Each structure stands twice: as C-alpha cells, then as structure tokens.
Amino acid sequence: MQGYGEHYARNLHTWICQYMTDNKLPLHRYGNCSTSVLDDEDIAQSIQLRLLEKASTSYVRTQDVVEIVATPEIQDKLEYGAMRTTITVRTAQRWLRKLDWRYRRKSNGMYVDGHERDDVVEYRSTFVKRWAEYEKRMVTYNNDGNISTTPKGFPIPDGRFRLYLVTHDESTFYANDRRKTKWIHSSEKSAPQRKGEGASLMVSDFLTPDWGPLIHGNQAARLIWKAGTNRDGWFGAEDLLKQVEIAIDLFEAKTNGWAVGLWMFDNAPSHQRRAADALSARRMPKGPKAGWTHRKDGPKMRNGTFPDGSSQALYFPDDHPVMPGWFKGMEHIIREHNLWPANGLKAQCDGFKCPSGQADCCCHRLLFTQPDFIDQKSQLEEYITSRGHLCDYYPKYHCELNFIEQYWGHAKMHYRTSPQTSDINEMEQNVLRCLDNVSLLSIRRYANRSARFISAYAQGLSGAEAVWANRKYHGHRTLPPALAAELKREARK
C-alpha cells in the first residue's frame, strides 16, 4: 500500500491469512493503554507507608523507591510477569509523583516538638475519648455544608441535650504583613519597604461550625486588642474571662437557653490559670506561717476535701490560742489526712525532680497527688461549668485539632492582598472585613479537617500518619476504621 512501510505490509498479510483460515477479523486495540502497577491499591499503600516511615527519620530519595520495590514484601504482591524484578530511577520518579510526593523546598507545617511526647500522647488519648462522647450530641456537616448527621437523643442530667462546639483562639495581624510573591514586570523598579512588622492588632474570637463567628444580633463575641505598652496592655487570663462572660451571654441569648456549649481552648498557661484562692501545693510552706497566701496580697486558699467528702480548712481558726488565722503548713495538712510517714518528709525534692512513679517522696508531691488537688479546675473551667456549659482543652502542640487556625490563615490570605494603611483604625476595618470574608462553608470544611485528625488519633495513628491519611481522605469527616487499622499494621512491619 502506498505510504505504509514493510511492517504494515506484513501485518496486513497476516490478517488476510487469518481471515481466510478462521474467518475472523482482527480487533483494534485503540484506547487499550497499559496500566500502572500503582493502580493496585495494596501495592501503592505498602510503598507509601515505607516512604512515610523513611521520611520520619531521614530524607526520601528516588533510589529508596527502587530499593522498596526490590524487597520480598513488594515482590510477593506483584503478579507473575507483570513487570521486571526492579525498576529504574526514572520510573521511581514517576511513581513518586503519582503517590503525591513533590521535590521542592519543605514548607512549614504541623509543629512536632513535643507532639508525640509520652505525656502529650497520653492526654491526647483521653481527649479523643471525651470527644467521642461530645460528638454524640452535635450536628455535623459534610464538605458541601449540608447536615451530615444529627444526634440521637438520650437522657442527660440537665435535660439540655443539644451540644454546640465553640472554639476559641487568638491571632495577631501586623500592618506590614504583605504578600511577598506576585507577578512583577521586568521594568518595575524595587520600592522601599517598611521596616519591621508595623503596628499590630490582636483578635480574640469564638467560632462554631453551626454559625461561624459567635454573633447575636449586632453584638459579636470577637475582641480586638491593641497589645503593647502604652496601648491596651497585654491580654491575660482576666481579660479572657471577661470575654468568655460576654460570649456565653450571647450564646445563651442565641439559643434561648435550650442548648449547651462545648467551649474549647488551647492548652496555653494563661488559659489554665487557676483562681486566686484555688488549691495548689506549689510554694506551700512545710510548717505554719502567718499571713501566707498562694499569691502575693491574694485571698486565703479555699478549703480542701477529705476522702470522705467533708471539708478541710487549710488555715487555723481565727480564735486559735497560738496561731490565729495562720496557714497550717503542709505537714499539718498531711497529718490530718493520716498520711504522714513515720520517717517524715522533706518539703520538696531537689529542683522538684521527683522520682518517676513515686507519689510520697516529698510534701509537695504527696499533696499534688491528692484527689482534691488533682480535681482542681482552672478559673476558666470553673466559670464556664458554673454557667451550665462544658469546657475542655486541646492537647498541647496539636493546633491541627483547632479548626479556627485555618480560619486565621484564610483571613490573613485576604488581608495580605488588601490595601496597606498607615492608620490603625483603617487597619482594623481591613482586618474585620477579611475575617467576615471567610464563608460558613469554608469554616465547616475546616472543622471537618480537624475532625479527621481527631478520628485518626482515636484509631491510634501517629502525627505523621494522621497527616497523610487526612490528605488521602480529605472528602470525609472521619477515616474508615478498616483503613486506620491496616495503616497501623503496615507501619509496625
């Protein structure tokens, strides 16, 4: 045939002979492209887990993929004749891209300092169990913003079943925080930049997946704070407590008092601050002392509680013949509990570094482990529970669980492209406008992302595993339980 080569002529001859012999026409193979080995999810997942394990301790190279494929575990999963025993480095590069790996400068992500520390992991495991109980009373939403699940009622003590998640955080906006990368024409000259971060505005806000920012009528729970000397000062525990009081008033007005709020805070020391008269063994003297209070010029410490539930005064009565109104001291308090050992106790171990697992090495340690001291709530939690609501704290170093963090990021993305101002009032209006630009749909998606992390930790995944699983199942609110179990089994191998 004119225009075709010798190979085509041979094929045509073969097809004619086959038709004359078997009366069959050849089938075309257009669209029948070869499939990738990675289309097998079992193989792809095994390689992915090995790479994640490698990335947690060192750098990932393309050669690592070649070596992983050559392992007996992967070879056993390959069908006979499906591929060669090994792959080339170029194939490994293509596979890395298909597995969502990119060769680029590493960006800042989830903080890991302390993230997997033993005490933090222990608190996280108890937190996710509490969260499972909270979620039974919540309405959840899918990534389209529609209701996904509604709670099934069951009896509770106060009769207010419906639970609303209200999360809190603070973030600071700076006047000179501008977008650094943009399209620039080659003829554009460099302009002088403003030195430093510029004036700042701190925003303390409450966010819910149900309504977005906590607002009722024309009043918002959001607080704008000009932090610094000769400005509004520094935002502290007392300032937050005043804001919480206003926020709960708005919440109860919005729900007409028929719902309970779950007020969530990060584990910052200022949020964990206790009331001035709260129980604390810290800085307690061992013996009696006149005029002692836990805080300078503060009130006397409140009464403790004996194991039988009766009250224990920590100060001698005002009519005491020798020490009227004096603080009793740790030794006397411990003796009233009948816990003072025959050999006595020192006030505190050196540097307060008590032996691990020992509860009676010193007076401070012994009091720290008593139920009434352990159960002492923060000032914030005491106030919130006194109003009939729930209060809890995210695990330390787990900002990924607080969806308001993404809310800040979204708002700051808009803020960095907004017109730069030199007037603080105009800057405040820009900040408020950018915060209001974050849609309720986005907020619900951010809440789902945090819920996926909680689901991952509830199923025993580590931080790195939770990040990968969150990306893979970004369309879900929770992870499939079977997948999480498989991930852990593969990771242990």
3-state secondary structure of 485: helix
Q: Which two tokens stand for residue 434?
A: 């950018």
Q: Quote the CA–CA distance of 47 and 64 in Å, as a whole number.
A: 10
Residue 210's Cβ-count burial label (10 Å; 0-12, 13-18, 19+) is buried
Task: Please give the single-letter amino acid code of residue 315.
Answer: Y
Residues 433-438: contacts with CB under 8 Å, at least 24 apart: 435/203, 435/205, 435/213, 435/222, 435/407, 435/411, 436/213, 437/410, 437/411, 438/212, 438/407, 438/410, 438/411
Amino acid in position 291: G
Enter the tokens of residue 439.
Answer: 């849609």
CB 137 within 8 A of CB 162: yes
Q: Can you tell me the distance from the alpha carbon of 261 to that of 263, in angstroms, rounded to the nearest whole number?
A: 6
Instruction: Report in angstroms the alpha-carbon separations of 142 from 389, 444, 446.
Output: 26, 8, 11
Mean pLDDT, contiguous 10-residue spans, the chain (493 residues): 74 85 71 70 86 83 90 76 71 90 71 79 95 95 93 74 95 88 70 79 97 96 94 93 98 94 94 91 92 91 93 95 95 94 91 85 92 93 96 95 96 91 92 96 96 91 79 74 65 54
Give the Cα separation of 246 and 221 in Å (integer).
Answer: 7
Contacts of 140 (CB under 8 A, 6+ apart): 147, 148, 149, 209, 448, 451, 477
Rg (CA), the chain: 32
Q: What is the largest CA-CA distance in the chain?
A: 125
315-326 as b/e: b if 16+ CB within 10 A: bbeeeeeeeeeb
Which residues does 330 contact at the CB level (< 8 Å), separation at least 6? 281, 284, 285, 286, 347, 363, 364, 367
pLDDT at residue number 487: 66
The torsion angles phi and psi of 214, rounded to 5 degrees, stand at: -75, 105
Instruction: Give pLDDT, residue 317.
Output: 95
Task: Kindly state the tokens that stand for 476.
Answer: 């879900």
In 150-299, the DSSP E strands lie at 163-174, 200-208, 212-213, 215-216, 219-220, 223-225, 260-265
C-alpha–C-alpha distance, residues 124 and 105, integer Å: 31
CB 461 within 8 A of CB 135: no
Tokens 């680029």, located at residue: 104
Q: How far apart are CA 77 and CA 490, in angstroms?
A: 14
Q: 163 near 255, Cβ under 8 Å? A: no
What does DSSP assign to residue 233? B
Euclidean distance between CA atoms 125 and 119, whole angstroms: 10
**Residue 365 and residue 349 in contact, taking contact as beta carbons nearer than 8 Å:** yes
Report d(CA 3, CA 422) in Å as an integer: 74
Beta strands in 157-221 (DSSP E): 163-174, 200-208, 212-213, 215-216, 219-220
- Identify the pLDDT of residue 44: 87
* CATH of span 118-179+198-272+381-492: 3.30.420.10
Q: Where in the chain is the domain with CATH 3.30.420.10?
A: 118-179+198-272+381-492
Give CA–CA dist 409/404, Å, rounded: 9
